[in-house]
Chain A
Amino acid sequence: MLRLPPFRYHRPDSLDEARELLDRHGEEAMVIAGGTDLVPNMKHRLFEPSHLISLRGLPELTGVEERKGWIDIGALETLSALSTHPVVRLRLPSLARAAGLVAGPQIRNSATLGGNLCLDTRCTYYNQTEFWRKALGCCLKKDGSVCHVTRVGKKCVAAHSADTPPVLMVLGAEVELSGPAGTRQVPVRDFFVTDGIRNTVREPGEILTRVRVPAPSASLATAYRKLRVRGAIDFPLLSIAVGATFREDGTVGTMSGVVSGLGARPRDLTGWTELAVGSLLDQELIEALADRAHAQCHPLENMIVDPDWRREMVRVEVARALGELPRA
């Protein structure tokens, strides 16, 4: 059986204690929530922290409540909890859907929202055993100097592969990061950076504690689609979140879209406002928006999938997501 590397396990009782432990052990330490991403990665020797700090049960990181125009979600809430939570299902149906589409039921029972936001980027040359990666000669994301996807350049193009962030971006959500320097709020749109090696702005000493979503206006419609080979136990080959508000006369008020599963950062689709605002969301507009998305997205061979097909699927899946937008 693949073994975990040795580590010391800590279970703090409070967020302060957790931060203190993290501070004390610095780069030697990693936090673990659900562990569904971290543990396989440790078994692959992608991470070998000598200290694991468990966030399990920290009260500061739990709970879902709506107050003062925000829906406030603890980072430790599991994906299955989110996908079934009445408030989330009613107010943030696309978030519930995205959470419910992750992997399989067992993973969703352990995996947390915070963990999904901090999911390590993925690549066919990276998420492999130590033996495999050594036979390959490793890659620049871990222990190596080349990128086998682009074969040139020093930029890691491992793919952001989490389901919930695209929806959170469309919803204008923000995350709360708690670190030695105190607590800060970061919009999910700014949380991710285009570096495949470390694709978030979270500092090593920081813990993602909560996710806050502005209570959506009644007129906000959202949809989420995930392209994958199997009905379960699959990361997205492509994921699309779209959000729009509609005016009295049925024309588009606002329109935004995010595509992920491509590079290190979920891609905010540009040029949609100009195309959509003031028009009716008819087939013609849907095609125009899909074409615009298609023009912006260029999948790489960081997954074992025909990239031409994946690119064409941007057009198809975006159009379908727009078609799925609930209409008043």
Chain B
Amino acid sequence: MSDRAKAKSEQHLIGKPQRKIDGLAKSTGEARYTDDIALPGMLHGKILRSPHPHARIVSIDLEAALAIPGVHAAISGKDLPVRYGIIPWTPDEYPLCVERVRYIGDGVAAVAAVDEDTANQALEAIRVEYEELPAFLTPEDALGANGSDDAPFIHPARKEGRNGNVTKRVELEFGDVDSALAGSDVTVEGDYFFEGTTHTPIEPHCAIGQFDGTGKLTVWSATQVPHYLHRELARVLDLDPARVRVLQPLVGGAFGGKSEPFDLEFCVAKLAMLTGRPVKILYTREEVFYAHRGRHPFDMHYVTGATRDGMLTGVDARIVLDGGAYASFGLVTTYYSGQLLAAPYHIPAYRFDSTRVYTNKPACGPKRGHGSVQPRFAFEVQLDKLAEKLELDPIEFRRRNFMGAHRRTVNELRVTSNGFLECLEAVERASDWKEKFRKLPMGRGVGVAGSCYISGTNYPIYPNDMPQSAIQIQLDRSGRVAVFSGASEIGQGCDSMVAYVAAEELGVPLEYVRVLRGDTDFTPVDLGAYSSRVTFMLGNACIDAARKLRRKVQEAVAEHWGCRPAQVLLAGGRALYGPDTERQIPVDEAFQLAETRFGTLGATGWYNTPKDVHGDYRGGTIGASPAYSFTAHVAEVEVDEETGVVTVDKIWVAHDCGRALNPVLVEGQMEGSAYMGFAEALMEEHVFKGSEQGRAGLHNAPSLLDYRIPTSLDTPELESLIVESIDPEGPYGAKEAGEGPLHPSIPAIANAIYDAVGVRMDRLPFSAPRVWRALRRGRGVVTGLLLLAALAGCADPVPGADAGPARDTVVYSATPEDASIIRAKVVWGREEGLDTLAVGEAMASLGLTFLGTPYRPGTLEAPGEERVVVNLRELDCVTFVETVAALTELIRDPSVDPEADAARLEARFARALEARRYRGGELDGYPSRLHYFSEWIRDNHERGRVHDLTAELGGDAYPGPVDFMSTHPEAYRQLADPDVLTAVVAMEARESARPRFRIPEDRIQGVEAGIQAGDIIAATSAIEGLDVAHTGIAVRVNGRVHLLHAPLVGEEVQLSAVPLADRIKGIPGQDGIMVARPLDGAGVTRGNGSEPGGTARPTGQED
């Protein structure tokens, strides 16, 4: 029996769906949240907030407010002049601002009054005089500050000479990144931007303070860290911690947004102390946005390398974090931005340089997936780009780089259980990946991404070696089990989890368990609901306490039965004799035996982390966790190419939670996480107005109408796939499930958008306007302006200028798929060294890579204005030749950067096409296209792009008119236009008068020696009025010339089975060939127009 199966079979409740102990209370309205509490004589408080992003407080006058009847107290910063901060090393906040306000919404004063209306009146009566200071809204601006009056630091520099606007900088390198990248076969470099987002719990923050005659302070708060609140209240209010009590009613959502003390908690406490009456403050929704502490905006630069066989070599990351006005958890965020990327893939060499910068906006902090969601987005998109370069399936690529279980990461974090491979397999199977990736129709796509996350941190926020989590259990003779838990129930189900564990260990029905919670007066310390620590730590603490009691019960019953304690089982509300389970007593009798034997039954249990599981370097402890969870997502999307609207149809979420103690709750966490990631990917933007928008630093829209979170109609189908790796140290093998499953949503969606429409979304969110803009660039429907923008910074900003006057626009059409083909071919060609071969050989080799491309006639006959049609997906005989020639030019032009954005590449390629397809190399309406291939050859010959060899090889002149078009107007839509028809007739007259040469079919074999690989072959036509019937490229096979060509409807680009000579003989409509040799050098469509055409010698003729 496998460990996993065994581990499962041993439990009765654990691993099975169970009710939540507060589930019914929540669905009947009984559940009590902070604002549901009303105390006798309770006053209502309000906080006055700064209308300035950055200002010095000159004076605050509270008198007028205090004079209003019903106003009982008013306070300002100087009433609470003690700095605090959740991270002990960066205390930079006051409960109310002292001397300086740092963002619009910063608290400056507070009042307590008989009701909310009176409190609001009081706020209006408070007079505050400000002296405005320059505000910094971007890290770039803030880093430019020097501490002068014109460019002040938002906070005083902590050390002389430091920039006060830098919260923290972390530079760490593991292994030799530079040589790892230098030695890579493939590297990808990219810039990414992750927009800020905020938690948006539906419950706004709320707190109630009460101060009794004995000098004891009680605070009720919607917090996820009652213990830290307890400490900070005592410190800031200068109270004996033993006389402070924090109660935590049920919390209506938090997601990290309630994981540090906030101004309202200090204010209700102080106001209660001043008035002797209970005081409540409930944030408005607007205030919740100002309190924020949400996801930091990240500016990220990544270089990622790999070997040709798809093994990662190194990662180099540079990150700037936009921190907002205060440090919050920022020191940790800065480390997490790099530290948590080192799994689940094996990264041989890794470096990151992260800087968190203060700006005059609400402070950022920890949001679900603290600090690691942003880099994970960038990195997983980098992996997608690498996989494409390596022509590897992105799932296979990830699989190859899997780090394995029970390993250390490059930054020396100890990873124990690791079910990432199973996660990948699960989503690959469930999503039918192999049938979809790169196979879905245009506009639909799938993308994959993976991630890892911590199950708690090995070190508490303030240094101490006491237990990180603890619990107390008390049994009585009725069979009742009382569990005293200090953990923070924020909806994740930790109160239910301890009930399951206690019931499991003590063998009682779930209904016998009471969880007494949320009160620092009677619960042991738990550090709080953050960093996904609770199930792992509290679960272990609960097992510890319950087993101490179980042993006593077993011992007492064993004594009674005269057997060994180990033979006594507790399960299903009974004590059973193992060897013969017919022998049993109800569990309450068992408890009575134990109570008789040992006296009143109680026990405490606790958990503390291993301390030796990280590297010995500065910051090595940050990111260290007793266990890591792993996740993989596949997202399937639809992209509306006209509107840019992205619809995520489904996300498959596979998560290794170690062990699902209650699968229903684990799925709930997985679905909620994937939902929140999806929301950040498509909708959410926590942004602020600039000075040109009325008021710099003003929140763009602090409401649930304008800060859009998805409704039921927007949310994709979510399928949870639980993977259980059974962690050696987790409770029953469990790890976290509440944060990890958020990470891959965003890169999976980005990668799916690329699969759908071929545009890379490297900036969040992927809103319709952003995607629409990307598609416009991608599709290359280019206006002069757009193209100039796209070409900015390009070495040769004006492609194609050799042919006629320099122009800065080329009107063409292409699809994103074309762009990726161009990119792939150029990359391939460079890797194959096509830029070092004779141009003909290059064309032949490149041409062969098009074998199998479907034939389609008439792709150039697009409706509307004639434009350079780019289509590498479907070719006819002529577009095949033109496409191969143009691509060859791009490969051989060193100024062409295959990593350039789609618009730039396409424009460059379209220009190279135009230079061949149109008379004089310039598109000027339909008639300017070189319709007759004999003219194509001559025109390109005259401009030095090809050398017409037909005559040199002994071809005959063959006169005769060319007038096929004008005599078959019905075959050419454009000829309906009389002007066009006139122009075409004139052209035909011109061509008919010109000499043309052909090598008759019976003489082809004789001149084969003179034909080289890559020569352009035109099969002359026996049809009256038509010069050329077919075209292709010469390729040598066993010494004979064969034809590489796009032959016929229903067929694909192919190499002729028989030699060229035999082929032409065998086809009635074709009676000979023309041969044109592609030229290089001067032939390259240079942007600067300096290269003269026509003078180049044919390459390959030196010898």
Contacts and interface: CB of A to CB of B under 8 A. Distances in A.
A233 B694 CA distance: 26
Interface in A135-166: 135-137, 139, 148
A3 B714 contact: no
Interface in B372-427: none
A313 interface: yes
Contact of A134 (B51, B284, B694): B51
A312 interface: yes
Contacts of A132: 286, 698-699, 702
A233 B698 CA distance: 23
Nearest to B117: A3
Interface stretch (B670-678, B767-775, B1028-1036): B767-775
B1081 interface: no
Contact of A3 (B120, B700, B769): B120
Contacts of B694: 125, 136-137, 139, 148
A136 B698 contact: yes
B705 A3 contact: no
A309 B282 contact: no
B772 A131 contact: no
Contacts of B117: 3, 6
A58 to B, nearest CB: 30
A1 interface: yes
Given A306-B769, A312-B772, A230 B706 contact: no
B893 to A, nearest CB: 33
A139 B695 CA distance: 12
B710 A230 contact: yes
A233 B700 contact: no
Q: SS class of chain A's interface: helix, strand, loop or mixed? A: loop
Contacts of B702: 128-129, 132
Determine the interface band of chain B, counting residues with CB < 8 A from chain A: 35 or more
Interface string B279-315: 0001011100000000000000000000000000000
Contacts of B701: 124, 128, 304
Instruction: Identify which of B117, B643, B683, B694 gathers the most chain A CB atoms within 10 Å of its CB.
Output: B694
A interface bracket (residues with beta carbon within 8 Å of B): 20 to 34
Nearest to B683: A229
A131 B285 CA distance: 13
B711 A313 contact: no
A306 B683 CA distance: 14
B125 to A, nearest CB: 15
Interface in A296-328: 304-306, 308-310, 312-313, 316
A231 interface: yes
Q: Which of B49, B282, B700, B769 has the most CB of A within 10 A?
A: B769
B284 to A, nearest CB: 5
Given A3-B117, A131-B49, A131-B51, A234 B708 contact: yes
Contacts of A1: 116, 282, 284
B163 to A, nearest CB: 28
A304 B49 contact: no
A2 interface: yes
A136 B688 CA distance: 12
Nearest to A146: B694
Given A135-B698, A304-B706, A2 B284 contact: yes
Nearest to A305: B769
Contacts of A148: 693-694
Contacts of A201: none
B644 interface: yes
B113 to A, nearest CB: 12
Contacts of B772: 309, 312
A123 to B, nearest CB: 11
A104 B284 contact: no
Nearest to A148: B694
A295 interface: no
Interface string B684-710: 000000000111001111111110101
Nearest to A312: B772
B1049 interface: no
B231 to A, nearest CB: 30
A53 B120 CA distance: 26
B51 A230 contact: no
Nearest to A227: B643
A232 interface: yes
Contacts of A232: 711-713
Interface in B34-86: 49, 51-52
Nearest to A320: B642
A308 B772 CA distance: 10
A273 B750 CA distance: 44
B104 interface: yes
A234 B710 CA distance: 11
Interface string A104-117: 10000000000000
A39 to B, nearest CB: 13
Given A137-B694, A231-B713, A309 B49 contact: no
Nearest to B204: A1
B713 A230 contact: yes
Contacts of B770: 306
Contacts of A230: 683, 708, 710-711, 713-714
Contacts of A227: 643
A137 B704 CA distance: 23
Contacts of B773: 306, 309
A18 B712 CA distance: 40
Contacts of A229: 683, 708, 767-768
Contact of B711 (A3, A104, A135): A104
Nearest to A283: B863
A104 B710 CA distance: 13
Interface in B624-656: 642-644
Contact of B769 (A104, A131, A309, A316): A309
Contacts of B51: 131, 134-135
Nearest to A103: B705
Contacts of A310: 769
A233 B282 contact: no
Contacts of B699: 132
Nearest to A301: B693
Nearest to B51: A135
Contact of B768 (A128, A231, A304, A309): A309
Given A125-B694, A135-B51, A137-B694, A316 B708 contact: no
B695 A137 contact: yes
Interface string A227-258: 10111111000000000000000000000000
Contacts of B286: 2, 129, 131-132
A61 B919 CA distance: 73
Contacts of A312: 772
A124 B642 CA distance: 26
Nearest to B640: A316
B588 to A, nearest CB: 48
Nearest to B49: A131
B129 to A, nearest CB: 16
A124 B688 CA distance: 12
Contacts of B708: 229-230, 233-234
Interface string A256-291: 000000000000000000000000000000000000
Given A139-B694, A309-B772, 11 more contacts: A1-B116, A1-B282, A2-B286, A3-B120, A132-B698, A136-B694, A148-B693, A230-B708, A230-B713, A234-B705, A309-B644
Interface of A: 1-3, 6, 104, 124-125, 128-129, 131-132, 134-137, 139, 148, 227, 229-234, 304-306, 308-310, 312-313, 316
19 contacts: A2-B285, A124-B706, A128-B703, A135-B698, A136-B694, A148-B694, A227-B643, A229-B683, A230-B708, A230-B711, A231-B713, A232-B713, A233-B711, A304-B700, A306-B770, A309-B644, A310-B769, A313-B643, A316-B642
Interface of B: 49, 51-52, 104, 116-117, 120, 282, 284-286, 642-644, 683, 693-695, 698-706, 708, 710-714, 767-770, 772-773
- Closest 9 A/B residue pairs (Cβ): A231-B713, A306-B769, A309-B769, A148-B694, A135-B51, A232-B711, A136-B695, A316-B642, A136-B694
